[in-house]
Structure 1
Amino acid sequence: MSKLDILGSVNLDIVLRVHDLPRPGETVHATQSERYLGGKGANQAVSAARTGADLRFRACVGNDEDGEWLTAQLAAHAVTPADVEVIAGEASGRAYVCVDQAGENLIIVHAGANDRLSLMAEPVEPVEPSRVALAQLETPIASTVDFFRTHRDRGTITVLNAAPAVAEARDSLFALTDILILNESELAFYAGREVLPEDVEDITMLARELIAHENQVIVLTCGAAGALAITQDGLDFTPARLTKVRDTTGSGDCFCGALCARLATGAELDQAIYFASVAASLSVEKNGAAASMPSLEDVELAIFEMTAAEVSG
């Protein structure tokens, strides 16, 4: 059994470069059109694989040209597609991504075959449990519940990137999760707030309302401001590496994959968060999602070369 088991989505990302993101009712012209391997599951699997994880990736694609291309791209990005199921009669998932000149994005997703993801039959013979199991919310929640229950029975650390925000996840998945990863907008959604308060203590109190069991950790990613690790009675802050943003698409996925790659090697959570934060800072310096994920060597070199001036806060 691989040390990291990932359940998640695979999409063909159609990326449109624009000067400014369109407002409701507005038409804008793209300056460039590109296609990439994407989907939160695939992005996180690529990030984890490139940063050294021994992983298994479970996903679905359609039996179409997109599915063939996506499977080949996974293999090209060091993710073995053996557990990627081809669904007859379904189109592969697609995401339409607009990226403006500041690197901010707007994304529309069509799930396609991702909606058919379920757990494949496990081998009858006993297998060594994975150290870490990672999932997101672009695939059926019922399948993720089964995935986490199976792994928790084996003593595996379960990590949920609760994105995109889905209300059902709080009731069905949070209690099965050891490490819950959210960004600020997702925290606001699950906390029932339009916007988050500015004070860190107030944000921490809101996050603690989501804690579903005493050993759970919430990792709150705050972009260029860094990341918080929040427990029922503790708070740790990891500053972000300063960077020149080109494209933020997939940066959160880079963080999740790199964090779980480190946990799967036995690293402590604070070490994993620091490593993942640097990895995400490197990803925003390149275009695309999976295509922008740094290698283990890239991250280690960036950490080695970092100076105090390159750390925010």
Structure 2
Amino acid sequence: MHAKVVIVGSLNMDLVTRAPRLPRAGETLAGHSFVTVPGGKGANQAVAAARLGASVAMIGCVGDDAYGEQLRAALQAEGIDCQAVASVAGESTGVALIVVDDSSQNAIVIVAGGNGQVTAQVVDGFDSLLSLAEVIICQLEVPMATVEHVLKRGHELGKTVILNPAPASGPLPAHWYGWIDYLIPNESEASALTGLPVDSVAGADAAATALMASGVRKVIVTLGEQGALFATHAHSQHFPAPKVKAVDTTAAGDTFVGGFAAALADGKSEAEAILFGQIAAALSVTRSGAQPSIPTVNEVQGYPS
């Protein structure tokens, strides 16, 4: 398989319960419902890139448990190359324990499990996949040392390197920036990276300018219903969002990243790739769930222009 897009990142099983409200300390509540949903930012982006037309391979780790088997099977069902999704003996698969109340507020506990075992050594065992890639994508749900290793290796190989800095709690190591072709944060992540308020297109432009002053080549700040801001050292451009009725924004950012990468790997221009990713993300928010909400390439191509 020629893997045009390779994702190094997380695989989680989302355990989602709905309850009237969030429980207080020591309290037991009766919930409305419970579902298990394949997730993790890495896996979501892999599914998005695959459904949106790319040949995809995933590098990551799961535990030697039923959730790990289910997550791998879900990726394989999308045609994703999972030879580099390793099972770690004696480790649990990553999980996100999510309680959602009747007003849509949530409380989440994440256990990294196998995601914490994605080491540079694991990645090096599949260097041939990185060599075959045209686009390499990382997020921040695996160890930071591993992300650094992948960014550097991708740059050495001359690949298009994308970092989705999520979750971001503060500035990234300055020496990373020279290895990244496209940094794609959302508003809160752009704010965490720069310390600047990012709640508008102008705020996104200021944050992108600060990031480029730190050495980033190109920045795309995703702004939800406000669209996206694309900035290079030469210019910046605002891309308004398609107008849709949002039902659930889960995985919208992951869908954008996967769609943008798939379009780049297909030879589309940056502007075309951003628009393609935006339409994919817009369609995803009209449906519930993470991976179940991600559209196909035919749906995006059929979207009214």
Q: Flag whether TM exceeds 0.5 (same fold).
A: yes
Q: For the residues of structure 2 that align with 1:127 and 1:228, how far apart are their CA atoms?
A: 29
Task: After superposition, give the CA deviation of every residue in 1:227-277 in whole Å (9 maximum; x if it has no partner).
Answer: 110122311111111222222111111111111011111111111110111
1:163 corresponds, among 166, 174, 188, to: 166
State the Cα RMSD in Å.
Answer: 2.6
Alpha-carbon distance, 1:123 to partner: 6.9
Alpha-carbon distance, 1:282 to partner: 1.0
Aligned partner of residue 61 in structure 2, secondary structure: strand
Question: Counterpart of 1:11?
Answer: 12
Question: Counterpart of 1:178?
Answer: 181
Task: After superposition, give the CA deviation of every residue in 1:2-33 in whole Å (9 maximum; x if it has no partner).
Answer: 1111100000011233566x498698764321
Question: Counterpart of 2:191?
Answer: 188
Q: Which runs of 5+ in 1 are unaligned?
A: 307-313
Aligned partner of residue 37 in structure 1, secondary structure: strand
Q: For the residues of structure 1 that align with 2:8 and 2:129, how far apart are their CA atoms?
A: 20
Alpha-carbon distance, 1:286 to partner: 1.6
Q: For the residues of structure 2 that align with 1:203 and 1:192, how far apart are their CA atoms?
A: 12
Runs of 4+ with deviation above 6 angstroms:
23-28, 101-104, 123-127
In the TM superposition, 1:289-308 aligns within 5 A as 289-302=290-303, 305-306=304-305
Contact 2:208 2:219 in 1 (8 A): yes
Specify the code of the residue in structure 2 equivalent to 1:196.
Answer: V
Is 1:273 equivalent to 2:274 in the alignment?
yes
Alpha-carbon distance, 1:61 to partner: 0.1
Is 1:134 equivalent to 2:132 in the alignment?
no
Aligned partner of residue 182 in structure 1, secondary structure: coil
Question: TM-score scaled by structure 1?
Answer: 0.87
Alpha-carbon distance, 1:170 to partner: 3.7
Q: Which runs of 5+ in 2 are unaligned?
A: none
How many residues are paired up?
301
Task: Report the CA distance shift for 1:128/1:208 in structure 2 as closer, same or farther (over 3 A).
Answer: same
Q: For the residues of structure 2 that align with 1:265 and 1:126, how far apart are their CA atoms?
A: 18
Specify the code of the residue in structure 1 equivalent to 2:154.
Answer: H
The alignment-based identity, stated in percent, is: 35
Is 1:151 equivalent to 2:159 in the alignment?
no
In the TM superposition, 1:119-268 aligns within 5 A as 119-122=122-125, 129-167=132-170, 169-193=172-196, 195-196=197-198, 198=200, 200-211=201-212, 216-268=217-269
Aligned partner of residue 70 in structure 2, secondary structure: helix
Question: TM-score scaled by structure 2?
Answer: 0.89
Specify the code of the residue in structure 2 equivalent to 1:53.
Answer: A
Alpha-carbon distance, 1:173 to partner: 2.8
